[in-house]
């Protein structure tokens, strides 16, 4: 690991100033991804700016019935927060489906959003990688790619975004707030990530030196009936092969409001807007759920070794919507407290 | 080596304030083991994947191999050396001994620190991925007791190459039952503050 200076500012302005105009400065939060990549010399920063002593920690209620989650709130604290569990259960479930208890205690909301892909070629500086070393090539396209993207990848990069949390945030129309020396800004989660295109090294639309300060979740009654489901290669502590976050509001047997996002299929959390449009006002049946999933996945272009993800994503969307529709039957409203204890 | 690349820090390790100057590259794990002589925490993978280096920082379990010592300045750090009482092991440690929750023992300090935190997290009402998804969250309802599936999920960040998992789960389960007897009917975190409580 290369030597670096360590700064611990307590004011946002000081953090921004330390990073301004430099590409060898990195913000340090939980460090679970950053320190690991520094050990592998994928990152060689000259300065680390520890942002965990900035006043960016905690979850608070927003006037619109939503929540504002501070950037340095740990994944554990978000997942356990009563208002998150009540109003956005898929967000709590998504976080708990990722990493381990130790890592969730360290990892922060902003760090989770800005984590790097787990493509093995990216993490290995002895290999070419257009994301790490632009122009050097992408060995994954012809090589090991069984867990790579099926949607919106390019010949330059087929890596996926590794976050579970961001998939739920995408389904809930989250908005990312950030600060720069020129003032604050916002970007929707849908617009935060760039497709790989010809510049897979450029992953977000954040201005240089920007510091994420919070993630805001809009108030939405439908989010209470939401679920996250993840398929992975072992029962726990593994990245997704495919995951799905969804919320569903059925009225008189028809889809009144549906939100669907997929993980493990693209360089960003994949909001399935096409499937949502197909389902609008349709009868809430398994057949319609599957047809909507198929419509979304018409755009899929699997690689030689990951075609299984297309069928998996179709089945997963169908199953999650089926589960949510079934929860409309009987008495199990999402905030019903009358059912028996476990 | 310039001063910019080193930090003067204090770690409150198992109750003792220890001042030291570290290279900013030093992990908490290396500082504990090599600077403070606390060799209980083990270096397994050194990439946050095995859990052998698990310690408690300000009461929360973390992997010390991905924690920079400089960033831990001022923290309370509890290692396996600090889990026991003055004259006896913790109930969890006793359960590991009694139920044979180890073979080679290399992962055990991390298992013990992690399990100590699991019991505290559960007592605070934290859910896990094993907490039944078909059971809607209801503020104020008592936290379900830990069972084997919950313990396997909550302990999944600690690998054991000897495969002592069945005994580890049994030991944590037994310690959890003892703890549950003390914390019976503890409501979930923050439930009392919820304006939306329907209980």
Identify the CATH number of the domain in which residue A279 sits. 3.30.390.50
Largest CA distance in chain B: 61
ipTM of this complex prediction, to 2 decimal places? 0.94
Find the helix or strand (DSSP H, E) in which A287 lies.
helix A286-297
- Min Cα separation B1/chain A (Å): 8
- Asked if residue A312 belongs to a domain, the reply is yes
Is the per-residue pLDDT at A309 higher than 50? yes
What is the arithmetic mean of pLDDT over A304-320? 98
- Asked if residue A149 belongs to a domain, the reply is no
Give the pLDDT of residue A335.
Answer: 41
Binary contact (A5, B4; C-beta < 8 A)? yes
Is the per-residue pLDDT at B191 higher than 50? no
Task: Quickly list DSSP for A98-114.
Answer: SS-HHHHHH-BHHHHHT
- Min Cα separation B80/chain A (Å): 15
pLDDT digits (tens, 9 = 90+) for A22-31: 999 999 999 9
**What is the sign, positive or negative, of the torsion defined by CA atoms of B102, B108, B112, B114?**
negative
Q: Under a CB-based contact definition with an 8 Å cutoff, are residues B21 and B7 in contact?
A: yes
Is the per-residue pLDDT at A15 higher than 80? yes
Residue of B nearest to A6 (CA): B24
Is the per-residue pLDDT at B173 higher than 50? yes
Residue showing tokens 């100590």: B116
Binary contact (B194, A236; C-beta < 8 A)? no
Binary contact (B190, A81; C-beta < 8 A)? yes
- Min Cα separation A298/chain B (Å): 30
**In this structure, how many other beta carbons lie within 10 angstroms of the beta carbon of residue B88?**
9
Total tally of structural domains belonging to chain A: 1
Bridge partner residues of B60 (DSSP): B57
Task: Quickly list DSSP for A126-183.
Answer: TS--TTTSTTS--HHHHSS-TTS-SSS-BTTB------SHHHHHHHTT-EEEEEETTE
* pLDDT range class, residue A338, cuts 50, 70, 90: very low
Is the per-residue pLDDT at B43 higher than 60? yes
For B93-98, the CB contacts below 8 A with 24+ separation are B95/B171, B95/B172, B95/B174, B95/B175, B96/B168, B96/B171, B98/B171, B98/B174
**In this structure, how many other beta carbons lie within 10 angstroms of the beta carbon of residue B134?**
10
Give the pLDDT of residue A311.
Answer: 98
Torsion angle, alpha carbons of B52, B57, B59, B61, to 10: -30
Contacting residues for B34 by C-beta, under 8 A, at least 6 apart: none
Q: Tell me the CA distances in angstroms from A5 to A24, A31, A215, B2, B5, one per residue in order.
A: 11, 15, 29, 9, 5
Give the pLDDT of residue A337.
Answer: 34
Mean per-residue pLDDT over chain A, rounded: 95
Q: Is A244 exposed, middle or buried (0-12, 13-18, 19+ CB in 10 A)?
A: buried
Q: Please provide the distance, in angstroms rounded to a whole number, between the alpha carbons at the two ends of chain B.
A: 61
In percent, how much of chain B has pLDDT > 90? 79
* Phi, psi at B118, each rounded to 5°: -60, -45
Instruction: Provide the token pair at B73.
Output: 């300045």
What region does A134 belong to: left with phi over 0, alpha with psi -120 to 50, or beta? beta
Domain containing residue A261: 222-326
Is the per-residue pLDDT at A331 higher than 60? no
Residue of A nearest to B58 (CA): A105
Taking the domains of chain B in order of start, what are their residue ranges?
7-82, 91-182
Give the pLDDT of residue B183.
Answer: 61
Pick the CATH number of B91-182 from 1.20.1090.10, 3.40.50.1820, 1.10.150.120, 3.40.50.720: 1.10.150.120
Q: Which of B114, B126, B128 sits opposite A102 (nearest CB)?
A: B114
Binary contact (B194, A86; C-beta < 8 A)? yes
Question: DSSP 3-state assignment of A317?
Answer: helix
Binary contact (B157, A99; C-beta < 8 A)? yes
Binary contact (B127, A96; C-beta < 8 A)? yes
* pLDDT range class, residue A111, cuts 50, 70, 90: very high
Residue of B nearest to A46 (CA): B5
Binary contact (A85, B125; C-beta < 8 A)? no
* pLDDT range class, residue B33, cuts 50, 70, 90: very high
Q: Under a CB-based contact definition with an 8 Å cutoff, are residues A275 and A290 in contact?
A: no
Question: DSSP 3-state assignment of B139?
Answer: coil
- Min Cα separation A197/chain B (Å): 30
Find the helix or strand (DSSP H, E) in which B21 lies.
strand B16-23
Is the per-residue pLDDT at A143 higher than 70? yes
Contact list, A35 vs chain B (CB under 8 Å):
27, 66-68
Binary contact (B140, A337; C-beta < 8 A)? yes
Give the pLDDT of residue A170.
Answer: 98
* pLDDT range class, residue A329, cuts 50, 70, 90: low
Q: Under a CB-based contact definition with an 8 Å cutoff, are residues A282 and A255 in contact?
A: yes
Task: Say if B7-82 and B91-182 have the same CATH topology.
Answer: no
Q: Under a CB-based contact definition with an 8 Å cutoff, are residues A3 and B5 in contact?
A: yes
Contact list, B199 vs chain A (CB under 8 Å):
337
The architecture in CATH of the region B7-82 reads Roll (3.10)
Binary contact (B63, A103; C-beta < 8 A)? yes
3-state secondary structure A232-280: ECCCCCCCEEEEEEEEEEEECCEEEEEEEEEECCCCCCEECHHHHHHHC
* pLDDT range class, residue B138, cuts 50, 70, 90: confident
Q: Under a CB-based contact definition with an 8 Å cutoff, are residues B197 and B140 in contact?
A: yes
Task: Find, among B131, B123, B90, B128, the residue nearest to B109 by Cα.
Answer: B90
What is the arithmetic mean of pLDDT over A212-220? 96
pLDDT digits (tens, 9 = 90+) for A66-102: 999 999 999 999 999 999 999 999 999 999 999 999 9
What is the arithmetic mean of pLDDT over B1-16? 91
In percent, how much of chain A has pLDDT > 90? 94
Q: Under a CB-based contact definition with an 8 Å cutoff, are residues A43 and A26 in contact?
A: yes
Q: Which of A102, A235, A337 sits opposite B54 (nearest CB)?
A: A102
- Asked if residue A180 belongs to a domain, the reply is no
């Amino acid at each position: 690991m290369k030597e670096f200076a360590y700064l611990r500012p307590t004011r946002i302005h000081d953090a921004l100033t330390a990073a301004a105009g430099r590409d060898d400065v990195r913000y340090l939060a939980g460090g679970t991804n950053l320190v690991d990549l520094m050990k592998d010399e994928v990152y060689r920063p000259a300065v680390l700016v520890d942002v965990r002593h900035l006043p960016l920690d905690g979850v608070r209620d927003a006037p619109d019935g939503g929540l504002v989650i501070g950037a340095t709130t740990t994944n554990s604290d978000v997942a356990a927060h009563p208002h998150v569990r009540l109003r956005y259960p898929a967000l709590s479930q998504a976080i708990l489906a990722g990493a381990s208890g130790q890592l969730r205690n360290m990892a922060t909301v902003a760090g989770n959003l800005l984590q790097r892909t787990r493509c093995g070629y990216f993490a290995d500086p002895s290999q070419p990688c257009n994301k790490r070393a632009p122009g050097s090539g992408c060995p994954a396209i012809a090589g090991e790619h069984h867990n790579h993207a099926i949607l919106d990848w390019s010949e330059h990069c087929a890596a996926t975004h590794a976050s579970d949390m961001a998939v739920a945030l995408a389904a809930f129309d989250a908005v990312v707030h950030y600060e720069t020396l020129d003032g604050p800004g916002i970007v929707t989660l849908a617009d935060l990530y760039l497709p790989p295109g010809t510049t897979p090294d450029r992953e977000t639309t954040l201005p240089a030196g920007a510091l994420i300060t919070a993630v805001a979740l809009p108030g939405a009654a439908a989010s209470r009936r939401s679920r996250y489901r993840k398929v992975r290669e072992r029962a726990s502590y593994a990245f997704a092969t495919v995951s799905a976050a969804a919320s569903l509001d059925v009225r008189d047997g028809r889809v009144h409001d549906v939100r669907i996002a997929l993980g493990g299929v693209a360089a960003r959390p994949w909001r399935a807007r096409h499937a949502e449009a197909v389902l609008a006002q349709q009868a809430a049946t398994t057949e319609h759920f599957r047809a909507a999933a198929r419509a979304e996945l018409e755009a899929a272009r699997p690689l030689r070794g990951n075609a299984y993800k297309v069928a998996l994503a179709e089945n997963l969307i169908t199953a999650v919507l089926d589960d949510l529709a079934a929860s409309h039957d009987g008495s199990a409203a999402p905030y019903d407290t009358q059912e028996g204890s476990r | 080596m310039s001063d910019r690349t080193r930090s003067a820090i204090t770690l409150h390790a198992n109750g003792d304030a220890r001042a030291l100057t570290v290279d900013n590259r030093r992990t908490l794990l290396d500082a504990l083991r090599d600077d403070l002589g606390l060799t209980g925490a083990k270096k397994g993978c050194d990439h946050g994947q095995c859990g052998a280096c698990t310690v408690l920082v300000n009461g929360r379990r973390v992997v010390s191999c991905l924690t920079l010592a400089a960033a831990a300045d001022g923290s309370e750090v509890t290692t396996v050396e600090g889990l026991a009482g003055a004259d006896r092991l913790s109930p969890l440690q006793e359960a590991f001994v009694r139920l044979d929750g180890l073979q080679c023992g290399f992962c055990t300090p991390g298992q013990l620190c992690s399990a100590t935190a699991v019991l505290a997290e559960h007592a605070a009402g934290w859910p896990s991925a094993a907490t039944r998804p078909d059971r809607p969250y209801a503020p104020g309802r008592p936290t379900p007791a830990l069972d084997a599936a919950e313990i396997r999920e909550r302990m999944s960040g600690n690998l054991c190459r000897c495969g002592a998992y069945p005994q580890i789960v049994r030991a944590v389960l037994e310690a959890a039952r003892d703890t549950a007897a003390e914390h019976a009917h503890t409501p979930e975190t923050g439930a009392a503050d919820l304006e939306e409580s329907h209980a």
